[in-house]
Every structure is written in structure tokens, then in C-alpha cells.
Structure 1
Amino acid sequence: MNSSQSVAGSPEPAPQPVQRGSQRFAPGEGPLPDPAGSHHERRIRSFQPRRSRVTTSQAEALLKRWPDWGIDIDGKRVLDLGEMFGGLPVVLEIGFGMGEATAQMAAADPGTGILAVDVHTPGQGNLLGLADRNGLNNVRVANGDAIILLREMLDKDVLDGCRVYFPDPWPKARHHKRRLIQPEFLSLLATRLGPGGVLHCATDWEPYAEQMLEVLSAHPDFENTRADGGFAPRPDFRPLTRFEGQGLDKGHVVHDLLFRRK
């Protein structure tokens, strides 16, 4: 968790204002543009950074809450989730968009900590603002590559679950290697999930749903929670998002998959 400290006896400098549209913050005051830098090897990215404007309210939320609730994924330290969440069971959410669904789930289940990872600065600010206004102390926002977080910054068996909702489907065949749900990712995740921990995926891209089901069903560390080996109905705890509603209005079919670590 990031924090800023002043030299004893000297006044702490006031945070510098962040202009609308800026995505750069002073160290410790907001998410860094590339937190891992050159510390770890580059790999095929499963996400596409989106460079959109940060509103004034999002920037204010980042300045206010990032020092306490924000984490840059730099790969330099192992996080103490027990201390960070006060001993709550912790679920990792990879990709949360603007954070509305994350905030709803955190409010509905205050007994579970949510470690929410994304690279979209406006969404990070929006989620922190929602958490702040609604008193959601069980949310932490991580900035950067979820693979580096899993590989370098989390202990084994530390997670109670993982949520991957509507990841980039990378629809072109030559980009399928960029899809997140691959055997290598599942093998890494399995080491960080405790026994019985559940991976919950959802997508409205049917070819990706079929690939997810195939890859997960074949992986030795996971088993389908569905006795019939198929897709699951949307659980009550996963909110119907605005994005999902728009897809349903267009005739898209949303598939949920819930697989348990053996």
C-alpha cells in the first residue's frame, strides 16, 4: 500500500492539483503510468490500456484515497492481504471497468475484501470515489498487470476467489494468444487460490466462452461447479452491469463459468 511521509519537524507538502485530463500523479499520490517499468520481463499483454480523460471528481478521489487504498503493481514486494483487509477473505477482480459492479458487490458483502485490478485511470478514480462516498472499506484498487501481481506480489493460497468479468475477447484469430484465460494463467492462479477457491468468469462473446469452458475443463487444477459440466446461470451476487444490459438488448448471450480449485 502506498504512503507518503514527511521529514520529522518539516511541514508535509500539499498535494499538487491534477488537471482534468491528466493521468500523471506525484509518486504515492496516484497510479503510476508504468509501475513495473523494466523490473520484469515483457510478455504478451492480455489487456489494452485505454487513454481517456480523468474527470475532476475522479482525480480528486485518486488524490484523496490512493495513498491508503491504492496499490501500484511494481513487482517489488509481497502484499500482506491479511493486514490490508483486516483478516477478511479476499477475492481478486481482474478488470473492473468503471467500478460500478465492484462497488455494488463490495456493499452487498462487506465481509469479503475485493482486490480490484485495472489499468484504466478514470475507472480507478471512479471506483475509489464510489468506495469513499459509500464507506466501502473492503475495496483496494491495484494499478498494472494482474500477471505480475499474481506472480510476484501474492503468497500461495492467499485468495478465496477470482473474478474475470467481460475480459477483452480479442476476436481476431491472430490475437487469440492475448486472451487472459489460457492454461498458463490458470496454472499461476491455481497456486494463489486456496483449495476450494472459485474462479468466476463471464463473457458475452460466445467463441471466447466456448474457449474458456474448454480450457478450464481440461485444466488439472480446476473442476466445474456445474454437475453437467456446462455454463452456470448468473449468480445473484454478480450485478447486471450497464455494459451487459446493452449487450443483452442487442441479442448477446452472456455465459457465466464457475470453476473451483481442486
Structure 2
Amino acid sequence: MTSVAHPARVRTFHPRRGRISGRHADALTRLWPLWGVAIPEVPTARLDLATLFGRSAPVVLEIGSGMGEATIEMATADPARDYLAVDVHTPGVANLLAVVEERGLTNVRVGLGDAVMLLRHMLPPESLAAVHAFFPDPWPKARHHKRRLFQPDHVALLRSRLAPGGRLLCATDWAEYAEAMLGSLSADPGLGNEHDGFAPRLAARPVTKFEQRGVEAGRQIFDLSFRRVAGPQ
């Protein structure tokens, strides 16, 4: 039998490794079974968000939560909604779990793995109240642009998982990527820009250490705010 070659999976992130401190290792051991969400390389089951959080409430997906600074502040200020934060960096996931416990938050769950796989295979359509993607990898080299999160097929996937009226909030400190993001989001017939072009800085988005380093380096911050409107499913 002749084997069929399948196209290689194109990742939107750099696989990252990092040292796990004792505190982080303890958090993973104790807290992952309680609040962790594994995202397999090839997911086979849908995620029941009401069961995951123990209640039926609007859910915000944060893609690329890093060390969890923004997640913690936004979830603390927004207890009526649940936050599913996803990253590929194990030390960041562990840190977020530890701080969730320290703050006594009940509305945060933490995913480890590829957010695109989560969206495509594990989350049902129209299941999210919002998606946050703050400072995604800009993949600046032209030959790597196919790896960017904000390109038409990924934007369509993001939009399909938003409930009607759901919001897609983004930020970047890479000017060329900001223009590309604005173009891809504006071209989607199911998304409406809440502003004329880029948005004012989102008041609810805390300044993280990553963003502060960009500002200190002289890079401009670009915010975008789009909403799911009538359009394709």
C-alpha cells in the first residue's frame, strides 16, 4: 500500500523550554490536576466549559498568557466571567497556577499546548464571550508569516468560536504585524471593528513586564478591538 504524505503542521509559536523552580514544580504537581487543561497534539474530545469551571458563565480565552500577569489582573477584576489561559511555556503555566492559588481565584483554568488545536478541536462554535491575544509572536521574517496567528484561516476559526457579540481583543508592539492584523481582522465578514482603525489602549488590559520592555525600547503599542457580528458561522 502506498503511504500518503500529509502536510507538516505549521505552528504559530516557538516551542519553549525553561527551568522549573521548586515552587513551580510544586504548583504543577498539586494544582495541575485541579485547574490544568492538557491540549494534546491531536485532540479527540470536546471540552465542556461548564464542567471545567463548575458553573455556566461567559468564558474568556487568553492565547499566550506568558507568566500570567494579565490573566490574574483581569480575572480578579472580572469575577462574573471565567478565564481559560493557554500557553506553551511550562514555567509560565506553573507560575500562573501558583498565583491563582495565592490569590484564591476560582475563575481561572490553565491550558498547556497549542491554542489553535484547542480552538479547532476542543472548543465548540460560539462558546466564547471573548478572545484575548496580547503580544502574539510577530514572526517578523517574511518566510515565517505563514506561522502568524492572525491570518485569514485562523481569524475565521477565532471568529467561529465567539458567541454573537463576543469580542476579540489584541495588542502588539510590532508595527508591521499590527497593520497585517488589522487587515486580516477587517477582511473577515463576521467581525466588526469597534473603532476606526486601531483602538485606544484597552483600559482593562494591565501593563505587563513584556509590554513595559517594549515601551522602554521605543516601540509603539497597537491595540485592536473587534466584535462578532452577523456573518458566516
For normalisation by structure 1, the TM-score amounts to 0.82
Q: Say how many residue pairs are matched.
A: 221
Aligned residue in 2 for 1:232: 199
Aligned residue in 1 for 2:127: 158
Q: CA RMSD in A?
A: 1.3
1:181 pairs, out of 150, 159, 163, with: 150
- Give, in angstroms, the shift of residue 218 of structure 1: 1.0
2:61 matches 1:95: no
Q: How far, CA to CA, are the matches of 2:60 and 2:68 in structure 1? A: 15
- Give, in angstroms, the shift of residue 50 of structure 1: 1.2
One-letter code of the match for 1:77? A
Q: Secondary structure at the match of 1:114?
A: strand
1:60 pairs, out of 26, 46, 53, with: 26
Aligned residue in 1 for 2:185: 216
Q: How far, CA to CA, are the matches of 1:133 and 1:170 in structure 2? A: 35
- Highest Rg: 1 or 2? 1
Where does the alignment leave 5 or more consecutive residues of structure 1 unmatched? 1-39
Q: How far, CA to CA, are the matches of 2:46 and 2:8 in structure 1? A: 20
Q: Secondary structure at the match of 1:188?
A: helix
How has the CA–CA distance of structure 1 residues 90 and 252 changed in structure 2, closer, same or farther, with 3 Å as cutoff?
Answer: same
Identity rate of aligned residues, in percent?
Answer: 56
- Give, in angstroms, the shift of residue 42 of structure 1: 4.7
- Give, in angstroms, the shift of residue 41 of structure 1: 7.7
One-letter code of the match for 2:206? P
Stretches of 4+ aligned residues off by more than 6 angstroms: none
- Give, in angstroms, the shift of residue 83 of structure 1: 2.1
Higher relative contact order (CA 8 A, sep 6+): 2
One-letter code of the match for 1:244? E
Q: How far, CA to CA, are the matches of 1:243 and 1:155 in structure 2? A: 31
Aligned residue in 1 for 2:3: none
List per-residue Cα deviations over 1:30-86 (Å, max 9, x = no partner).
xxxxxxxxxx98521010011110111011111111001001112121111122221
Q: How far, CA to CA, are the matches of 2:221 and 2:130 in structure 1? A: 21
Aligned residue in 2 for 1:195: 164
For normalisation by structure 2, the TM-score amounts to 0.92
